[in-house]
Amino acid sequence: SCVSLFSLGRPERLDAYDILSLYFSVLKSGHQGAIPGADEVQNFDLRNVAEFWDELRRGLVDKDSSVRKQAFYVLKTSLSIFSFGNDGSQRCSGRSPAALPGQDKSNAAVTKKERWANKEAKSLGVEEIKQSDEQCSSGQDRWKVFLLLYEMLQEFGTHLVEAAWTHQVLLLFESTPQSDYLNHTSYRAFHAQMESVEGIFNWMTVLWERGFTQDNPQVRCLVMQSFLDIEWERYKGYAQMVPRGFVLGPLIRGLNDVVHHKDFGVGGVYNSEAIKGAERFFSNYARKLTIRERLHLVWSLASAAKQDSFGRPGLMTLAFCIASCACQSDTHDLPCGSAVNELAKCNGDTSIAVNTVDFLDALWILSERSKHHFNPKYRLKG
């Protein structure tokens, strides 16, 4: 099938996007007769192929801008064709908007720049969603918010992202389904994308990852700040829903960006607001993990120092994140000696492929990297 081309290599991947773009363009135009076997399309429903959605997410964060544009076109066109309907869609839980700083700004506090941004946003249709009083939305509404946010990162100016980003992310974040998708096995791949907490977070990580790598440093700072400012402790279990691949990859790499640590090292203080925010997130992320899972997470984070090149702020951030995961005050935690014994038990667990030697080796490498920096206060802090 066309989807299988994605796994063959980059040229085949580009061919697959071309085929899908042509296919959906023809369907959208209403000329199904131009596609051989179109009458049999109901026997193969692409929207319920999980690999199709997985590949679109990968394409939307590809380093190649042409691939990102193709993936976005395919996503946008396919969503305009696929029937949203009401079958299987859930309404979200009514939740008062809580907890991202900067949301309760009075009209008097709005700057001239923000008023101009809001006016231009309204002319582009951004304001229509931004000012909506509805805190609950269907899967279709979530898709609209996602497409708007992604398009902002691709096309719109910095001032427009500043005007609408935080509010729209909060709107998407708050709109969780009333019931867990896992309890509704009748839901297929398409409905799972925006009708389950897991699905919503999978797509939110696309926005965050794209924002972390945006060309404009102001946008990168805004997106990272909006992520770190989420009061995860108010949303029980949400931190654990953030995909592990995103946490260990794009998030850690994003935190290595010097634009997030402007005050780092000033006056001999080797800390920053971004480091404090990352520390809070990882504390919440690791809170419900078992000892075995937490040790594996610490090992995975420490191993990042072997795979990527970290600057001074990035390496310090990594050290704080590791400490935040390891130093939990949970009364169910085992003492240090027991924890090492627990790690030894992991050696035979194929799902957690780490042993004591690898664990200590990763921590040793992290320590050695910190020694390469000339400042003794920095080395001591790390």
Mean pLDDT for each consecutive 10-residue tract of the chain (382 residues)? 71 82 76 50 68 93 92 91 53 46 49 63 56 59 89 78 80 69 56 87 96 93 94 88 95 96 84 95 93 91 87 92 83 46 42 74 84 64 58
Q: What angle do CA 42, 68, 215 make, to 5 degrees?
A: 155
Say if residue 57 is in the same domain as residue 142: no
Say if residue 221 is in the same domain as residue 251: no
Q: Considering the domain boundaries, does residue 95 fall inside one?
A: no
Q: Considering the domain boundaries, does residue 132 fall inside one?
A: yes
pLDDT given for residue 180 in this prediction? 52
Beta-bridge partner residues of 92: 177
pLDDT given for residue 248 in this prediction? 95
Q: Considering the domain boundaries, does residue 104 fall inside one?
A: no
pLDDT given for residue 170 in this prediction? 82
Beta-bridge partner residues of 177: 92
How many Å apart are CA 53 and CA 58, to the nearest integer? 9
Say if residue 201 is in the same domain as residue 329: no
Say if residue 299 is in the same domain as residue 220: no
Q: Considering the domain boundaries, does residue 130 fall inside one?
A: yes
Q: How far is CA 348 from the centre of its chain?
A: 32
pLDDT given for residue 226 in this prediction? 93
Q: Considering the domain boundaries, does residue 52 fall inside one?
A: yes
pLDDT given for residue 235 in this prediction? 84
pTM for the full predicted model: 0.81
DSSP state of 179: S
pLDDT given for residue 172 in this prediction? 82
Q: Considering the domain boundaries, does residue 356 fall inside one?
A: yes
Range of the domain at 250: 238-382
Say if residue 212 is in the same domain as residue 253: no
CA distances from 297 to 271, 278, 353 (A): 23, 15, 11
pLDDT given for residue 201 in this prediction? 94
Residue 192 near residue 54, CB atoms below 8 Å:
no
Number of structural domains (the chain) is 3
How many Å apart are CA 303 and CA 305, to the nearest integer? 5
pLDDT given for residue 122 in this prediction? 65
Say if residue 223 is in the same domain as residue 247: no
Say if residue 223 is in the same domain as residue 290: no
Say if residue 222 is in the same domain as residue 249: no
Question: Residue 11 carries which side chain, given as an amino acid letter?
Answer: P
Residue partners of 19: CB distance under 8 A and separation at least 6: 2, 5
